[in-house]
Amino acid sequence: MIDQLIPKVKEEILLVNSENELMNLKAKYLGKKGVLATFTNSIKDLSIEEKKTQGPIVNSIKKEVELIIAQKFQSLKRLAIDKKLAEEKIDISLPSKGQSYGSLHPISQVSSQIVDIFTQFGFETFEGPEIESDHYNFEALNIPKDHPARDMQDTFYLDGGSLLRTHTSPMQVRIMEANKPPIKIISPGKVYRCDSDVTHTPMFHQVEGLLVDKSVTFGNLKGILNEFISRFFGSGIKTRFRPSYFPFTEPSAELDIEWKDKSGEKVWMEVLGCGMVNPKVFNSVNYDTEEYNGLAFGMGVERLSMIKYGITDIRYFYQNDLKFLRQF
């Protein structure tokens, strides 16, 4: 019967169409309880002379069966690969689906535009730390601990007396401490306040401006900011400077522009704060107030973006809605 085993295996293996079926066939002939194991176990009952003749025959047939099964396994593997390649075949003559390209976030775009305009005016750009000390964020800017202006700043305080800066104005002091006049800088960056609604977020962006030199006037301040408004919003935009209060400037003002609301009616909208640097700020950096004076201004990037693009809720900028972001 053993001499009929190879033809039988070859006949059965032609009917095998999957690896699972092949494993069953392998177990049938090569398993511990398989056909060849039965022949092998029967050899122990033979005489020595019979063992010498039957043993090599069984081993030879076992190796041939193993080879047949291995070849079938490789054949099935090749068929599976060919099938997968056929299923994944791509017709390169078909039109492509197109690609979606990313772009700068609208806040980054507006911030870059602001910086570019002031760079054209000759301002240098400096960035500062977002974790500040009470000294730079408040006291050196004429906001002592008992000053009512602190109530305007909902501050994130950290361990050790440090805090997340509430405005970019600390850069005024840092720059003046490290440099002598003339100074002409802007400082863009993130700021933080405990506030959240349709026009406020706990983190937002500001751009601070500072110019210190001899004989700087409020007229210089108006000329710089009016030109900025013209380049940012377009020529022909009407502006007005309205008296206001900031501890680090005196006199202080808020700059309004005439803008159309949703109904098309013209209204005045506040866009930034500004003023002449308070002499008390100069005293904190040992500047001679008899020789030097300066102007300063600060603007919220989100606010300018909302006005320019007619956005009614600041939270749209940070919800990661692609339908919104792709408009920019």
The pLDDT score that the predictor gives to residue 230 is 96
The pLDDT score that the predictor gives to residue 183 is 96
Residue for token digits 């003339």? 182
| Dist. CA 7–CA 4, nearest whole Å | 6
Phi/psi for 250 (5° steps) reads -160, 115
pLDDT in tens, 79-99: 888 888 888 877 778 787 777
What's the count of helices (H) and strands (E) in the chain, helices before strands? 11, 9
Coil, strand or helix at 126: coil
| Dist. CA 30–CA 23, nearest whole Å | 10
The pLDDT score that the predictor gives to residue 313 is 85
| Dist. CA 325–CA 217, nearest whole Å | 41
Strand blocks (E) in 169-292: 183-192, 203-213, 239-246, 249-260, 266-277
- Per the model's pLDDT, the better-predicted residue between 232 and 46 turns out to be 232
The pLDDT score that the predictor gives to residue 18 is 85
| Dist. CA 111–CA 235, nearest whole Å | 20
Fold classification of 106-325 is: BirA Bifunctional Protein; domain 2 (3.30.930)
Q: CA distances (Å), 310 to each of 59, 107, 120, 307, 313, in order?
A: 87, 14, 27, 5, 9
pLDDT band at residue 198 using 50, 70 and 90 as cut-offs: low
pLDDT in tens, 159-170: 888 999 999 999
The pLDDT score that the predictor gives to residue 318 is 86
Across 90-104, 133-147, 289-303, which has the greatest mean pLDDT? 289-303
Asked if 328 and 310 touch (Cβ cutoff 8 Å), the reply is no
Partners of residue 211 on adjacent β-strands? 184, 295
